[in-house]
Amino acid sequence: MKTFSLTIGIGKTAEGIDIPRDNAKEILTMVDAEACKRFGGFTRIDSFGGWIDDSGNVITEPGVIYTIGVDIHSERTDAEADTIVASKARDFAELARTAFAQQSVVLTIDGNMEFIS
């Protein structure tokens, strides 16, 4: 089994508009269900993070980190398995990014971090 993690801000949209808690809960429920459908399950941890916007302001917001395992059949080579995991992880990251109207989310596979924008 291969794993990946996905870090998503859930407090503000890419435009800086606050996401009401009830809306965030509804979106999380949808993303949770999609994780179960695609991967059979997930672990989700609450987080908090920040970044500097184009004006130099520090923006902070709550977030979540998903850790997900992808079951890859053992007859595949490591390179084939890595390609499959990366494709499935990027598709899921894009779904979550769009659902929360984020400019980007952080996807980490085998310790390699990338922004999905």
Quote the pLDDT of residue 53: 86
Q: CATH number of the domain that 43 lies in?
A: 3.30.70
What tens digit of pLDDT does each residue of 66-108 get?
A: 999 998 877 788 899 899 999 999 999 999 999 999 999 999 9
The 10s digit of each residue's pLDDT in 9-22 is 999 999 889 999 99
Q: Structurally, how many domains does the chain consist of?
A: 1
- Mind listing the pLDDT tens digit for each residue in 36-64? 999 999 999 999 999 898 899 999 999 99
Cβ 100 vs Cβ 14: under 8 Å = no
Please list, in sequence order, all residues whose beta carbon lies within 8 angstroms of the beta carbon of residue 45, skipping any fewer than 6 positions away. Answer: 64, 65, 67
Confidence (pLDDT) at 95: 98
CA distances from 13 to 16, 63, 73, 82, 103 (A): 5, 12, 38, 31, 8
Q: What element of type H or E holds 35?
A: helix 21-39
Q: Are 95 and 105 in contact (CB under 8 A)?
A: no
* Boundaries of domain holding 96: 2-116
